[in-house]
């Protein structure tokens, strides 16, 4: 029994580090071919639309309720810490800071991982098991250049745009709750946002978004290229892409937080 457990642990570690090695090699191959990203603009624009424009409805719903919950919970926490005090002048600033540096980048990244990252893995994985990637190589077309580079470039370019959109929508959601449910005037809410606004917080959030977007696309491509086992293998790769991407976002968020703040 113990022997089987040790074998499973060892195999899991070997698979993990093997996958990390594949991601690293793919990353450097993408960097090597990054100049080709803008030569075939059709491929790049197609991926930008898929990752960016087609994600807007889901990002909108997520952002509205993220801002709404942040506003409601912020007011509750203020009341718990300072009962009876008028803290409405700080509510907008508290909500805004949380959205800028943490909530919008991380939640948008995870939504993107579930939608775009898994989609990339499924698409490339299907091409792998149906030997379409072998056909590209037979035609002397680099799969990394043709498939991975446009997706990676679109990933790190479009996620910051989605995060900026998320900032705006989340603030609107927070304001609606503050105004209609908490009785905070628009002047007071947005006045505190403006008073305590720091450009650095926005920039830090966008840096996080670039890392999350590029990392998610890289993981999706890497897992897609290593797919095997037919339709069942594609399903496993899709799940694995989301799990790896979500874990990467959370770990990278902590690392970037220690560096940026």
Over residues 109-155, the pLDDT tens digits come to 999 999 899 999 999 999 999 888 888 888 888 899 999 999 999 99
CB 196 within 8 A of CB 93: yes
What is the pTM (predicted TM-score) of this model?
0.91
Q: Show the tokens assigned to 42.
A: 């059709």
In whole angstroms, what is the distance from residue 212 CA to residue 219 CA? 10
Given pLDDT bands bounded at 50, 70 and 90, which one contains residue 60? very high
Q: How confident is the model at residue 3 (pLDDT cuts 50, 70, 90)?
A: confident
Which tokens belong to 205? 């959030």
pLDDT band at 72 (very low <50, low <70, confident <90, very high): very high
% of the chain exceeding 90 in pLDDT: 59
Residue 1: pLDDT over 80: no
| Lowest-confidence region among 16-20, 192-196, 224-228 | 16-20
Contacts of 228 (CB under 8 A, 6+ apart): 128, 129
pLDDT at 14: 81
* d(C-alpha 66, C-alpha 168), whole Å: 12
What is the average pLDDT across 209-222? 95
CA distance 254 to 165: 23
Summarised one tens digit per residue, pLDDT across range 34-54 is 888 888 888 899 999 999 999
């Amino acid at each position: 029994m113990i022997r089987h457990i040790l074998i499973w642990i060892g195999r899991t570690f070997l698979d993990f580090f093997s996958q990390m090695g594949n991601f690293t090699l793919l990353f450097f191959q993408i960097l090597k071919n990054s100049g080709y990203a803008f030569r075939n603009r059709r491929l790049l624009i197609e991926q930008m639309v898929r990752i960016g424009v087609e994600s807007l409805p889901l990002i909108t719903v997520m952002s509205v309720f993220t801002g709404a919950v942040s506003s409601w919970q912020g007011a509750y926490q203020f009341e718990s810490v300072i009962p009876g005090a008028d803290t409405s002048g700080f509510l907008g600033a508290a909500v805004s800071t949380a959205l800028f540096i943490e909530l919008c980048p991380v939640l948008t990244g995870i939504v993107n991982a579930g939608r775009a990252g898994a989609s990339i893995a499924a698409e490339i994985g299907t091409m792998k098991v149906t030997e379409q990637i072998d056909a590209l190589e037979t035609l002397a077309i680099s799969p990394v250049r043709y498939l991975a580079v446009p997706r990676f470039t679109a990933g790190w370019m479009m996620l910051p745009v989605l995060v900026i959109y998320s900032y705006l929508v989340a603030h609107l959601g927070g304001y609606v709750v503050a105004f209609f449910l908490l009785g905070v005037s628009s002047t007071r809410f947005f006045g505190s946002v403006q008073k305590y606004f720091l450009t650095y917080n926005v920039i830090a959030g966008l840096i996080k978004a670039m890392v999350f977007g590029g990392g998610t696309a890289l993981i999706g491509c890497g897992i897609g290229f290593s797919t095997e086992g037919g339709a069942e293998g594609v399903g496993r790769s899709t799940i694995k892409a989301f799990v790896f991407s979500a874990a990467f976002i959370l770990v990278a968020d902590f690392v970037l937080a220690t560096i940026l703040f």
